[in-house]
Structure formats: structure tokens, C-alpha cells
Amino acid sequence: MQKKVKNAPRAFFGVRPLLCRYWKSPNKRIVEHHCHWHSELLLLTCGTYEYEVKGQKYAAHAGDCVLYPPRIAHSEANPPDDPPQFYHIKFVWQNIFARLPLQVYDRDGKLKLLTTWLYESYWAGISFSYECSCSLLASVLGEFVRLSVKPEPPLVKTIRTFILENLSSNITLEKMASHIHLNKYYFARLYKSLTGVSPVQEVRQIRLSHARNLILSSSKPLKAIAAETGFSSESSLSHAMQKYEHISPSQLKNQTKRGY
């Protein structure tokens, strides 16, 4: 349901939110070609979101952010065995930037942080929430523009897609290097120079990110989440979360239940 704002002031910073929600897609979902008078932004937290624009097919995964400007016709679908979950923002953006990409990767995690704040502010029900939501939306869009100025290198995107498609498998440095036909030592140095992290660290970060999202958004047992995200056991997953994120799965779940 769209939130109605009484006596809404003029768009703040040239942007005005119309709706901000968290959407869990059903297993089977196909939306034929359509367009909107407003803009839309989708930030994927898990699953796969497939879409088509001007005859070109795309796929977005966790960490990807998709932007639809006004009157851009697109269709949507999702694989039934991997339905997506995402933050969905509808908004008006006066003087929207030209030539923005359809999709960027939230490589620093700032888009997710800002979008989460926007989502919480939008439904806060406090007197200044509308102005606060406009300001946060402007920050979200500013971060999208920043990411689009220096897009993700094709090699990095290829490796991240490979990791996502093989998340439950044993992903080694040799397998990643072989996937793009490079020597593993050269590949490791090149990847770190492009991203600031090693390929092995990238695998761990993506696994932990997906595990966190599943803990927060599903009722799956920890053993199943560990297997789905490539950890050998639930104790291995718990150890990794405590070591690198300084929180246990049970603490994360309890904080969510309390609304922290």
C-alpha cells in the first residue's frame, strides 16, 4: 500500500518519494512490457531478478541496484527456484541525469545502508519523516550516480557472477582464474588491484552477505543456510560471522525480532 503524505511539501533536493517497501517476490512471476510515469529503483538483497529493456536481457543479484527512469518500457521475471527480494522505491526525480546506467553494483555497501535508512524513515510516522525521506532518497540517488561514474570492471562483474552461480560449491582460486582463462597468480594480483580485496576474500564476503540476508529474511534452519552459502557446517558459518562481522547468527536473529 502506498503511503499518503498530507500537505506534502515541494520535492526536497529535486526528488520526492512515492513509495518505499521491501518486496519478497513469489516463486512464479512474469510481468509483461510496461512503463511508468515515475522512476523506480530496486536494490537486490538476495535471489535473481531478470528483466528486459529494448530487447536486451539482464540479470541482477544481491548487491545489484536497478534504476528505471520514467517511460522506459521493461519486462520482469524471476527464476522459480531463486526468487528475488529487494527494496523497491518509486519516486519523482526532477531533472534526472541523462545516460545513467540501468544497473550498478553496491560495491561499498553504502547503497544498502542508505536505502535501509530510507525505508525505516519512510514508515516512521514522525513529523519530519517526509523531509527526512526526501533527503535520504537524494543521498541514495547520489550514491547511484557515484557508482555509475566508475562502473564495475567487466572482469570483476564476471567473477562475482561466477561466485553467485556457484555459491554452494567449493570455489577455489584456481577455478575462478580458469573461468576467465588467466594464471591464478596473475589473476589474484589483478583482482586485488581492481577491488582492494583478494578473490578469496570476495568469496567470503559474498557468502557472508547471502547468509546474513537468509537469516534475516527466511525461516530456514542455520544448517540449510550454511549449505546454501558454501559453508561446510553451521558451526563454520557461525565462526565466520563472529570473526568477520562480530555477531553470531542467533544474535542477529534476536536483534531483528526486537526491531533493532
The pLDDT score that the predictor gives to residue 256 is 52
CATH 1.10.10.60 maps onto the chain at 154-258
| Residue 172 confidence class, pLDDT cut points 50, 70, 90 | very high
**CATH fold label, 15-149:** Jelly Rolls (2.60.120)
| 0.75 surpassed by pTM | no
Q: Identify the bridge partners of residue 187 per DSSP, sorted by sequence position.
A: none
| Residue 128 confidence class, pLDDT cut points 50, 70, 90 | low
What does the DSSP assignment read for 57-95? EEEE-TTEEEEE-TT--EEEEE-TTS--EEEEEEEEETT
| DSSP one-letter code for 11 | P
Q: Identify the bridge partners of residue 5 per DSSP, sorted by sequence position.
A: none
Q: How far, in whole angstroms, is CA 132 from its chain's centroid?
A: 22
Q: What are phi and psi of 167, to 5 degrees?
A: -60, -35
The pLDDT score that the predictor gives to residue 4 is 46
Question: Residue 80: is its pLDDT beyond 90?
Answer: no
Can you tell me the distance from the alpha carbon of 214 to that of 225, in angstroms, rounded to the nearest whole number? 7
CATH superfamily assigned to domain 154-258 = Homeodomain-like (1.10.10.60)
The pLDDT score that the predictor gives to residue 194 is 87
CATH 2.60.120.280 maps onto the chain at 15-149
pLDDT tens for residues 100-127? 899 998 887 889 889 988 998 888 776 6
